Structure 1
Amino acid sequence: MTAGSTTRDALDVAFREVTDDDVEQVVALWEACGLTRPWNDPRRDVADARRTPTSTVVVGVAGDRVVSSALAGYDGHRGWLYYVAVDPQRQGSGLGRATVVAAEGWLRRAGVHKVRLMVRHGNERVLGFYDGLGYTDSECVVLGRDL
Structure 2
Amino acid sequence: MTLRPVNPDDIAAFHAVMMAAGMDPRSSWSRVTPADLERSLFSPGAGGFLALGEGGEALGCVGYRPDGEATLTLNKLATRPQARGQGLGRALVREVEQVARRGGYARVLLAVSQYNLDVLPFYERLGYRPSDEPYAHAHPASPPPVVLVKDVRGEQEAGCGE
Normalising by the residue count of structure 2, what TM-score does the alignment of the two structures yield?
Answer: 0.73
Shift in Å at residue 121 of structure 1? 0.4
Aligned structure 1 segments of 4 or more residues deviating by more than 6 angstroms: none
2:32 corresponds to 1:44: no
Q: Return the match for 1:62 from 25, 29, 53.
A: 53
Partner deviation per Cα, 1:95-125 (whole Å, 9 max, x = no partner): 1111100121122222211011000002111
Local SS of the residue matching 2:4: strand
Aligned to 1:4: none
Give me the CA root mean square deviation: 1.9
In structure 2, what residue type is equivalent to 1:69?
C
Aligned to 1:109: 102
In structure 2, what residue type is equivalent to 1:98?
A
Aligned to 1:27: 15
Unaligned runs of 5+ in 1: 1-12
2:129 corresponds to 1:141: no
Tell whether the 8 Å contact from 1:68 to 1:85 is kept in structure 2 after alignment: yes
Distance 1:102 1:65 in 2: 19
Aligned length: 132
